[in-house]
Each structure stands twice: as C-alpha cells, then as structure tokens.
Chains A and B, each alone.
Chain A
Amino acid sequence: MSDSTAVGHVPEAHHTTTGISHNKMLMWAFLASDCMFFGSLIWVYMVYRGRSLEGPYTQEILNIPYTSVSAAVLLLSSLAMVLALHGIQHGDMRRFRVWLGATAALGALFLGGQYFEFTEFYHHGLTLEQNLFGTTFFVLTGFHGTHVGIGIIWLVTLILMSLFGRLTPANAERVEVAGLYWHFVDIVWIVIFTLVYLIPY
C-alpha cells in the first residue's frame, strides 16, 4: 500500500496513503458513478430505440454529417485539453491559458451546434412530448450537453484563477482533474454518437 518512493516529490500527493491525491481519487470515483448515470440513460434509450408510435422517426430527422462535424469539434477539444495540461505542467502559463481557452471555446462550439440541432428538430415537429424518440433523445443528449456546459464553466474558472495568480504550475494537478472530467464527457459522446446516430435503424 505505502509506495514511498516517488511520493515525496509530488507536491499535492505526499499526504495520502496511496500517493494519489484526494482530488484525483474523488474524480475517478465520481466518474465511475457518472458511468452508471449515463449507463442508465443510454440503456433506457436503447430499450425504446425504434419504438416510437408516431413520427418524426429517427432516420428521417438525424443529420449524420452535421453531427459528425460537431463530434469532431468535441474530440478536438480533448486534444486542446491535453496541450493545456502540458503547458501548465511545464510552467508555461501563457500556453496553458491559450489551450484551455481553446478547449472551452471548442466545447462552447459543440454546445452551440447542439442548440442549433435541437431547434432544427423542433421545427421538424420533434419535441419532448411528441414520441419516445423525442423523449429519450432530448433527455439523453441534453444531459450530456449539461455535462459539457458544467465543464466549460469549470475551465473558465480555472483560467480566471490563473489570471488572479491562484492557479500556478505547482497545482497543475487541478487542471489534470478537470481534464479527467472533460475527457470522460468526450468519451461518453463517442458512445452516444455511435449508438444514437451511427448504428442504422
């Protein structure tokens, strides 16, 4: 249990039994829980898949090329997140802020795309009440979007903290923990995108 070799050198970790900091451990545990959250939502989506009694039906309304682009935008944001973390870990705060800003901006672009998609579907008559597809689609992707939104607020807070000198390379781990969350939300989107959009109906 007590791996004492490297522990002393990690600034935020040297008080813990495992050598992993509390914050990081908390995030991993939360993500395990969040897996079950999205797992339940996705399970319900899959059970009701193709069981709408009236239109608009899934295959008439989904715009796969459009959503592929917005999925690519979200995946790119993960790359930006990695570069931001690399920046702060190497003490380059300017690079950190630029790339974390880019991460948040790409996330916001994805959310904007989702907003446009939702309104488009709405104009085609797909609402929460219309049918099972509308019900399950909006709630599932809406909760994912909410996760992205919370992530954006988090990233912006980190940028602000670094501007006020409250986030320094010494606590780069805070960025790493935010990154864990951000990558998780991206991975969930890969699953949702595959199951909702890509698998033929």
Chain B
Amino acid sequence: MVESALKLERARYERSALVEWLTTVDHKKIGILYFWTSLAFLLIGGLLALLIRTQLIVPDNTFLGPQAYNEVFTMHGTIMIFLVVMPLNAAFFNFFVPLMIGARDVAFPRLNAFSYWAFLFGSLLLLSSFLFGAAPDGGWFGYANLTSSRLYSPGLNIDFWVMGLQVLGVATLASALNFFVTIVNMRAPGMSLMRMPVFVWMTLVTAVLILLAFPSLTVGLVMIMFDRYFGTNFFNPAAGGDPVIWQHLFWIFGHPEVYILILPPMGMISEILPTFSRKPLFGYTFVVFAGIVIAFLSFGVWAHHMFAVGLGPVPNAVFATTTMLIAIPTGVKIFNWLGTLWGGAIEMKTALLFAASFIAMFTIGGISGVMHASVPIDYWQTDSYFVVAHFHYVLFGGSLLAIFAAIYYWFPKMFGRMLDERLGKLHFWLTLIGFNLTFFPMHFLGVDGMPRRIYMYSAGMGWDLWNLVASIGAYLLGASTLLLFVNMLKTLRKPADAPADPWDGRTLEWSIPSPPPAHNFDVVPVVRGRDAFWIEKYGAEEVIGPAPERHGAEAGHNPQNPHNPGPGEGAGHDQAASHGAEHHGDSRIHLPPPSWFPLTTGAGLTLMGIGMVMHASDTLGSLGFPVVGLGIAMVVVSLLGWTFEPIHEEGHA
C-alpha cells in the first residue's frame, strides 16, 4: 500500500500543468478556475449590455432588430445571474471557506471539481447557441407558454436555454451540498458556529437556499422540456394547463435566487469593512440572524413578482406584507455596517471604497424595492424601466460592487500579488460614476412610462435624454471594468511578493502564506474566538472564550500542546489524513489524489443536454437520442470509476 501511495505521489508531480488543472481536486485551484471563467463571462455579459444600450441610445434606432434584441437581453440576464454572479460567489466560497474555517479542503473534493466542470460545460452549451444563431430569446424568466410551446418558440433558442440551465442546476446543487457539509462538519477545533466569519455564515445560508429553491426551477424546466419534447400539457391552455403555474414555480425559485446572489456579497462586505476600520463587526449576532431571517422570508415573497398577474387582492396583500418585512432584517444589516465604520480607523483602500459604496448603492436599490412591495405602486411600475433600475442597484450596485471589493481584498491571497491601488481607485471612481449614470436615469424613464424589454422607442416620448445619458454611462462602466482586467493582468506579471497578511486581517486565511500551500495549514489552527487570527495577533483578552474542547481521541495525543492538533483534524476524512499512522510533522498530511472522473461526469451530463438540443433540430434530429444515451453511458461509467477509484477508504479499516 505504501508503495502504491508513493507511486501515486510521484505520478502527481510528473503531470503536465494542463493535466494538473484538468484533474485538480484542490479547492483553491477550483476556486481560481471559477474566478477566471466567470470573469470571462462577465466580459461577454457586459458586451451584451453595451449592445442593448447602443440600440437604445437614440430613438428609432435600427442597430439591432427585434429578434436580436430579444436574444441579447435574455442572454445578458441569464449570463449575469447564472454565469457571472453565482460562480464568482462560488470562486470565493471555494478559495476561502475552507481557509476561513481552518480546513484542508472541502468535504468532497471530487464533487467540488465536478461542480466546476458541469458549470463550465453547461455554460458553454448555453453560449454555443450564439454560434447556431439561436440564442435564447424568452427572457431569463422564460415565461410559459411562450417558451413551453413549439408553436410560439419554434427554433432551438429555448432548447439551449432549458438544457443549459438544467446542467447548471446540477452543478449548483452539487456545490451547495458540498459547502453545506463542509461548513457544518469541517470547522477547526474551537470554531463554533457563532465564531464563524460572517462570509462563512452567509455561504452556509446560501447553500441552504440553493438546496431548497433550485428544485422548484428544475421541476419547472423539466416541465417546459416535456411540453416541448414530448407533447405534455403542463402549460398548454388548450388542454386546461395553466401558464401561471410556471410563474409560481419560477419565482418560488427566483426570489430566493435574489438572496443567493446577494447574501454572499453581504458576507464579503462584513469581512472587508471590519478589516479596514480596524474594528470588529458591529452587532455580529444581528448580522448573522438578519441573514437567516432574510433567507427564511425569501420563500414567502415570490408572488410580488406576479402582482399584475391577477391573483386577487388577498394574495397580493399577503405578499406585499411579507415583502415589506424583508426590509427589516436588511435595514438591520445596513445599520450594522454603518456602525462598523463609525469611529473606526478607516483605511481608504480600494476594497474599502467598493465596500462602502456597496452600502450606499444597495440601500438605494433596497428603497426602490420597498416601493414595489406596495401593490398599487407596483401596478404602475411593473414592467417599466423603474424595475430595471431597481434590480441593477441591488445586483450591480449590490452584488457586483461587493465582488469587486472582494477581488481587491482577496487577490493577494489568491495570487500572491497586490493589485495596483492607483488603478484600483480609478476603477472604483469610474465604476461608481458610470454605474449611477447608467442606472439612475432609468428610474426617471420608468416613472415616465418607458416599458422594459422594448427594442425601440419613438422620438417625442420624452425618453431621449435619459436614454442617451444611460448609454453614455454604460460605455463608461464598460471602460472602467476593463481597467480591472488591466490591473489584474499587469499585477500577474509582477513577482509574487505579497505578504501573508497585507491588510492586518482578522480571519484565518491571513495566517498562512500568500498564495497558500497546497495543504493550507501546516498545523490546523485552534480557534479561541471570533476574528480568530486577530486574537492570535493582538490577544484581545476580553473576547477570548473558553479553551476549545479537543476531540476525545486527539486530546490524548497532544495533551501538552493545544496548538498542535492531532492527525487529520479538519482535513476531509473522505480524502485526506486517513492514513493516520505517523503523527509527526507534515508527513501525515495526505492530499486527495487528482481525478479525471469529475470532468468526464460533467462532460457526460452536458452531452445529454447537447443530445436533447440536437433532437429538436431539423438536421441532426435522429442523432439526438443516441447522443443522450452516450451521455448517460458516460455519466454511469464515470460514476462507477469514481466509486472504485483507489483513494483512502482502506485506511479506515
């Protein structure tokens, strides 16, 4: 066994860099893959946004036709939500959650790699629709029966959308399962739930939201698929079906999805503001519970997306009330962030600027959100540009600004290099100006009655000026985002000289080198309180809790030294550290071996989606189901290989 393990180790080092990345199960490498992939998609999604604003820059413009416009705004929304914000969040989950809880990897490293590959392939399936001139054109919400009937959407457009999103859904679900188990089960000794960094808390809440909200989307997509492929009647009014059922299914997913997009950024802000204010987070417990309450309420507000559908006054009143309730925990968080800044020794770094602007911009979006909660006002604002302004203030002004803050904050840890602060500040100011120039005028346009999703408007409606301003703002925003890429590429050419703890950080990821070694921690940390690393550095006596209980077995090994935990603590029992025979030094750290099966499983899953799309095409229809079968076979064989792959298991016996 020792010999085979040695052979495995040796083989590892002989792998080429490409193979290493393709087969990696290291949470940090997977995080970096998520990071660059979703940033590339950000460029595509941003380009589509510029196409929209170019079409709308002047009245009666003919830059894009109606069909192209539908495709562009559908793909812009779908890409930004599923291919940019969610996976950028996932990039930070992957890289930082294990580091912040003092673990050596996630609970299921291969499942984690599978999530990435399924995400990548599913995204490429969705994007490949452009190559066939059949990009999805039914809106990111894909309302039935426009999408469910081949009568109304005859092309392959919706097929790409339905199959791509199903693959992405599997990837997301797998990732959520993984992070749920990781956070609940792999915390370092002493890291009790109420000592976890808020980012970890929000990751946990987001994982639960994904687990409970995504099935409803999956079921809805399956029904659209069956209606399109097998002639079922789920959303077919001619047979008594009801398209509004789709809206319920979609928004029961869709509203929690909003919090899936915003809660992790709220967690990032809750790490960044204390670091640059040199103060602990104000009201930690309130922030955590506010996040939980938001998640809980998010399942009871979906029908506020459907006020104008005609559900009747009673449902509308109920959902208006629950929607307004969400403002309370959200407001709590905003005051806590302000309280964190208040009286702090604030360092005006780029990360802090983005984080602080998040508070302001998100508050504007939150206020317009409360306006929509009122049904009569919503009747007036629904499907107008006011709604577009609202959700861009929460999703760009909220999620994306916080993610930019997180990039400036965590880039040194991920790549060992400090981003340029001058370029960063320029990026920040241009973004803030460009963002407000683009989206604030949309409030006026909405109030003036400009509808969403129209590809053209006539002169003389009074919309010309603000559309022009918004388009100019959008170009500025596009240019400023390029600055981020310039900054990152420029920085990556510099030597990796970032210190382990450049910001005088508070959480455990700053206690190890930048970038961290493959095994993360030489010695699994012992956590003595919130802001665990800060306590180790400055020993804030008053916040130190009781010394953590050692796990029974390990306490026996190192009774004299609480800082040198026993074997395997915190590492995935599933993969690592199970050969706990030797107890000294680094030799006991066994990292999970690389594997091809996550990639092949993801590819097989996507092949099933490709086959379904082919089945709907005129030319390749007969090949469709054989390709689906091939995909199923590939998944089954990969999973069998996955199960029988030699890992650690024997070590337990």
Query: Which residues on A are within 8 Å of B, measured CB to CB?
Result: 1-2, 4-5, 7-8, 11-18, 20-23, 25-26, 29-30, 32-34, 36-37, 39-41, 44, 47-48, 51-53, 128-129, 131-132, 134-136, 139, 153, 157, 161, 166, 168, 170-171
Contact = CB atoms under 8 A, between A and B. Distances in A.
Given A12-B652, A139-B226, A47 B242 contact: yes
Contacts of A136: 234
Interface string B519-554: 000000000000000000000000000001111110
Given A16-B185, A37-B215, A129 B233 contact: yes
Given A1-B187, A16-B573, 7 more contacts: A2-B549, A17-B186, A26-B108, A40-B219, A52-B239, A52-B240, A135-B233
Nearest to B555: A4
B652 A11 contact: yes
A37 B548 CA distance: 40
Contacts of B215: 33-34, 36-37, 39-40
Nearest to B576: A15
Contact of B574 (A22, A34, A36, A139): A22
Contacts of B649: 166, 171
A4 to B, nearest CB: 4
B271 interface: no
A26 B107 contact: yes
A2 B554 CA distance: 13
A128 B228 CA distance: 12
B433 interface: no
Given A29-B211, A36-B215, A17 B184 contact: yes
A131 B239 CA distance: 6
Contact of B184 (A2, A25, A135, A166): A25
A12 B574 CA distance: 9
B348 interface: no
B550 A170 contact: no
Interface in B241-275: 241-242, 245, 249, 252
B89 interface: no
B216 interface: yes
A15 B569 contact: yes
> Per DSSP, are chain A's interface residues mostly helix, strand or loop, or mixed?
helix
B177 A139 contact: no
A-B complex: 5 closest residue pairs judged by Cβ atoms: A37-B215, A15-B573, A40-B219, A8-B553, A36-B215
A170 B574 CA distance: 14
Interface in B579-638: 636
A22 B572 contact: yes
12 contacts: A8-B551, A13-B573, A16-B186, A22-B108, A25-B185, A37-B215, A37-B219, A40-B219, A40-B252, A48-B240, A128-B232, A131-B240
A132 B233 contact: yes
Contacts of B108: 22, 26
B352 interface: no
A12 B573 contact: yes
Contact of B240 (A7, A29, A132): A132
A13 B214 CA distance: 29
A22 B181 contact: yes
B201 to A, nearest CB: 14
A42 B200 CA distance: 34
Contacts of B252: 40
A22 B551 CA distance: 17
A132 B239 contact: yes
Contacts of A22: 107-108, 181, 185-186, 572-574
Contact of B644 (A7, A34, A139, A166): A166
B8 interface: no
A199 to B, nearest CB: 20
A36 B240 contact: no
Contacts of A11: 652-653
B156 interface: no
Contacts of B13: none
